[in-house]
Structure 1
């Protein structure tokens, strides 16, 4: 099924767990379509299919599932300073995000379309489906290279220790990103 706003395929989430016999099963309470949030009046969409509150993750007695359920009504920020966050970002044709920085290590993979990484130095790189970017606390923006097609990427965000470059401590800079992207604890 296709999302009528973006013409991208709807995303489904399947979360595994164990039954009483210790066999692997799909959780029926949390597996479903991933809800999306409109960003910048529908020019982009954001979804967070999973988040954890600690690292390493405690999966005993489904503690991670229990903690994740609180994010079903209020998504975490870009970075959870004690755990990990998975983000899906969808960009309208020609969309350019605000230049921003998080204090995190982000593993980014383009799923659909062509997306350009834009760094504050002016350097750029174009990424296509399957291409990855390891984003290490640098100022950056994302641009959908297409003027006609939506693009989608997935980001797995891990908190990082404070970053010091040239003797200067670099902090989170999310000006223009919206309140939904503030880091959470």
Structure 2
């Protein structure tokens, strides 16, 4: 089992490991896999003079992110691991976030609404700019696929081809 640690500062200002958050991994079910929040902050940049960001992250880790944006806090940032079981397929979706994802295990197809797709292998990355997309685990021999993702909310609503884009999930 792997672990996750957060650093902070002790009473004398020295660097220490936080004891506020369990180091064991905890993942939430999402369409097509599991989402494990590695870190979240509800402000960006976060204030590191206190540990309010760690307290909020501990809450997010056990209860999930707010319903208005389950991928990333509206005014903050999030880092997560997405694990997809063999042959899993996500819903076609758009989130109001700028995402950077890095495949760390397996092979994943990324399908876009316009019909294009790319196959990503371990070490490949993608910057997702609020576009409609779907993930499909195509790892050989019924293997799992994992991605590390870094999400930042899109600061303002935006329009493309005269249409205002919003978070969207399609069956």
TM-score past 0.5 threshold: yes
Structure 1 residues 64-143: aligned runs within 5 Å: 64-76=53-65, 77-143=70-136
**2:163 matches 1:168:** yes
Residue 62 (structure 1) aligns with: 51
Residue 41 (structure 2) aligns with: 52
Unmatched tracts of structure 2, length 5 or more:
none
The CA distance in 2 between the partners of 1:28 and 1:53, in whole Å, is: 20
Runs of 4+ with >6 A deviation: none
The 3-state SS of whatever aligns with 2:92 is coil
Distance apart, 1:95 and its partner CA:
1.2
**2:7 matches 1:16:** yes
> What count of residue pairs does the alignment treat as equivalent?
165
CA contact (8 A) 2:107 2:119 kept: yes
CA contact (8 A) 1:113 1:146 kept: yes
Residue 150 (structure 1) aligns with: 144
CA contact (8 A) 1:102 1:173 kept: yes
Distance apart, 1:31 and its partner CA:
4.6
CA contact (8 A) 1:86 1:157 kept: yes
Per the normalisation by structure 2, the TM-score is 0.89
Distance apart, 1:74 and its partner CA:
1.0
Distance apart, 1:165 and its partner CA:
0.6
Q: Which of 2, 25, 28 is residue 34 of structure 1 equivalent to?
A: 25
CA contact (8 A) 1:113 1:128 kept: yes
CA contact (8 A) 1:92 1:144 kept: yes
The CA distance in 1 between the partners of 2:63 and 2:12, in whole Å, is: 33
The CA distance in 2 between the partners of 1:56 and 1:39, in whole Å, is: 27
CA contact (8 A) 2:40 2:72 kept: no
Q: Whose strand fraction is larger, Structure 1's or Structure 2's? A: 2
